[in-house]
Amino acid sequence: MKTDARGCAVSTRSQAAVDHLERAYWRLVSFYGTPLEDLDAASAADPQWMLPHVVRAGFLLSVTEHKLLPEAHAALARAQALAAGANDRERAQLAAAHRCFGGDWHGACAAWDALLNQHPRDLLALQLAHLFDFYRGDARNLRQRVARVLPEWDKSDALYPYVLGMYAFGLEESNLYPQAEQAGREAAGGSACVPWAIHAVAHVMEMQGRHEEGRAWLNTRRSCWAEDDNGLAGHNWWHLALFHLETLDVAGALQIYDEQIATQAAIDVTLQRLDATALLWRLHLLGSDAGASRWAANAAAWQQDEAAAGFYAFNDLHALLAFVGSGQVERAEALVAEVALKAERDEGINKAMAREVGLPLMRGLLAFAKARHDEAIGLLQPMRTVAHHFGGSHAQRDLIDQTLLAAAARSTHHRGLGRALLNERRLAKATTPLTQHWASQL
């Protein structure tokens, strides 16, 4: 019986196919390029092996691109046709991927968890579950799922630093900052380039207000994350821009936006476009003029993917911000109506995400855009305790608090709320020029 590099049984006799899959696994966890060519090579080496098609479907689903659903469906169909020759573990992977494709992200994560209980070194199950824990806002499992398997991994395994980087991010999202930084630094401290671990430490520094350290951390490690073919490059540039904003260096943040975050190739990708939109919105809240052309290009990229409305609430929220920022308030209102209709009609996890979190947030942000600040506060404030249910990180969801601070500063009745939010912020992180800005507004 042939196994992969971590002892998981595989239903192929081709070592070349296994080697190509191993390369695809490295791409999954390192974000260097995409695994698609490696998966094609694995399938060419053994056309009867089902697993490369399951990996392809899982990767396509993991980037939350609505337009990739047909391609993911085709990969699942090819896998299903080869299922008879697969072993039990591989068929369980196929079943989990089917659940994920159907919108049952909770069920898919439960299925991957069951796989990991039996096969703790199953890299595919771990990586996909980790990403969908993030998309589901499940910080507990973002940390604990990795903790349940990490002791089973050999530190000499070439992919061990990437698993340790996952653990670092889970610790950070669980507010265990010293432990997260220690794990992230260890994961990034070897010879392997581990962008996810570098990103986890950047999150720690963002949450603790360590903006100067954060800039130095990212700048001195650019060779391990800033290459054009790294899928985390745009997101780490976004973190660097946030460190600039903490010092109110608007020009520095905009330079990063123009040169690194909002290139046409970048904003064609939803995960990159989220960061571009969020950065423009933060600038807008500060009263900085990001320029109509930047907003227009951002909104145009969202509008090209109109069929994606109602697919994932976190994405919908950022599309609304782009329409509002570009002055297309009617388009933003239409998006809210469309998302509400799909939340009533469709099934899957996004139904609950949209109804519980996405739509109230969208309506609150729309009210803010219309200068109805009291109404915006009434809609946004209750969301602070449940916003994690639609995914994203603490740093990404800070957009909600910063909007509340701006609304409170412009309201005649809610200055006390604004000061209360500032008190939270002052105890959570070092006082920065950005915090002082909001204090002066309140």
Among positive and negative, which fits the CA dihedral 296, 298, 304, 309? negative
Return the pLDDT at 335. Answer: 96
Residues 6+ apart with CB under 8 A from 300: none
For residue 377 the two structure tokens come to 């506060």
Q: How confident is the model at residue 290 (pLDDT cuts 50, 70, 90)?
A: confident
Q: How confident is the model at residue 266 (pLDDT cuts 50, 70, 90)?
A: confident
Kindly tell me if the per-residue pLDDT of 88 is higher than 90: yes
Return the pLDDT at 430. Answer: 87
Q: How confident is the model at residue 228 (pLDDT cuts 50, 70, 90)?
A: confident
Determine the Cα–Cα distance for residues 301 and 147; give it in Å rounded to an integer.
38
The mean pLDDT value for 188-211 works out to: 97
Q: How confident is the model at residue 229 (pLDDT cuts 50, 70, 90)?
A: confident
SS (H, E, C) the chain: CCECCCCCECCCCCHHHHHHHHHHHHHHHHCECCCHHHHHHHHHHCCCCCHHHHHHHHHHHHCCCHHHHHHHHHHHHHHHHCHHHCCHHHHHHHHHHHHHHCCCHHHHHHHHHHHHHHCCCCHHHHHHHHHHHHHHCCHHHHHHHHHHHHHHCCCCCCCHHHHHHHHHHHHHHCCCHHHHHHHHHHHHCCCCCCHHHHHHHHHHHHHCCCHHHHHHHHHCCHHHCCCCCECCHHHHHHHHHHHHHHCCCHHHHHHHHHHHHCCHHHHCCHHHHHHHHHHHHHHHHCCCCCCHHHHHHHHHHHHCCHHHCCCCHHHHHHHHHHHHHCCCHHHHHHHHHHHHHHHHHCCCHHHHHHHHHHHHHHHHHHHHHCCCHHHHHHHHHHHHHCHHHHCCCHHHHHHHHHHHHHHHHHCCCCHHHHHHHHHHHHHHCCCCHHHHHHHHHC
Q: What is the pLDDT of residues 365-396, one digit of tens each?
A: 999 999 999 999 999 999 999 999 999 999 99
Return the pLDDT at 129. Answer: 98
Kindly tell me if the per-residue pLDDT of 32 is higher than 80: yes
Of 265 and 97, the one with more pLDDT: 97
The mean pLDDT value for 149-168 works out to: 97
- What is the residue whose two structure tokens read 């800005």? 437
The mean pLDDT value for 128-149 works out to: 97
Return the pLDDT at 320. Answer: 97
Q: Between the CA of residue 243 and those of 203, 211, 248, 250, what are the distances in Å?
A: 10, 5, 9, 10
- The structural domains of the chain, with segments of one domain joined by +, span 1-133, 138-231, 263-442
Q: 1-133 sits in which CATH class?
A: mainly alpha
Q: How confident is the model at residue 136 (pLDDT cuts 50, 70, 90)?
A: very high
Kindly tell me if the per-residue pLDDT of 227 is higher than 90: no
Amino acid type, 194? V
Longest dimension (CA), the chain: 72
When mean pLDDT is compared across 58-62, 66-70, 226-230, 297-301, the lowest value belongs to 226-230
The mean pLDDT value for 219-223 works out to: 95
The mean pLDDT value for 417-429 works out to: 93
Of 33 and 306, the one with more pLDDT: 33
Cα 185–187–193 angle (5° rounding)?
105
Distance of CA 340 to the CA centre of its chain: 23
* pLDDT, mean over the chain: 95
